[in-house]
Amino acid sequence: MKIFTDGKKSSIKEGITYFLPTTVSAYAAEMNKVHEVVSNYIEKNPLTSVSGIHLEGPYINPVEKGLQNPSRIRPATTKELSRLSLKNALLITMAPEIEGFEESLPILEEKNGVVVSLGHTDAEFEDMNRANDLGINGMTHFPNGMNTLHHREIGCVGAGLLLDMILEMISDGIHSSSDFVKLIYKLKGPSRIILITDSIDATNLNDGKYDLGGLECFWHN
């Protein structure tokens, strides 16, 4: 399973070549609605830089939920996944230690080969290594939303460094220091790093209150 995908590219002023509208943890009906809206948009705009959908949850670990609504986080079930509209879903972020993770992989592969990326996870290295052995080679916004490196249990960050993983990174100087970004670049090289914005839907909008997966979000430029 590879992170990189083919698709139409366009250069815009922020330097974005691929744009994946991304959900936070949501109910199944909400996920299907997003898929309907984005799929219709892609169909009507064939030259768009929107390449597909990224489902960031809901099958994640609430311990590392970040700004995600805990009421929408849940185990993965084959029953729910089989009912989801996933034709234009390119990527799904999941935690490898959650209930139903391994059972979900065949269904996601059948559903247009949805790529699994590891994120919002408190997994031990053993869990990450097992997922990598199952063909998963990507990590979502590394090292944010995951446990840190320890010399007795190298965990998620250690897995990202040791295993042949492709690492998404938010190199804005806030989510990770510039020195950390330099370290990862030196250890992994540019071919194993994807730079992302991780912008929320209030980006570039007026100051005010917005909804983020059922949570109130206050945006200030």
Residues designated catalytic:
198
Residue 194: CB atoms within 10 Å:
18
**To which H or E segment does residue 159 belong?**
helix 155-162
Check: CB of residue 144 under 8 Å from CB of residue 30.
Answer: no
Distance, in Å, from the CA atom of 68 to the CA atom of 24, rounded to the nearest integer, reads: 6
Q: Before 190, cis peptide (omega within 30)?
A: no
Instruction: Map residue 50 onto helix, strand or coil.
Output: strand
Phi/psi at 187 (nearest 5 deg)? -80, -35
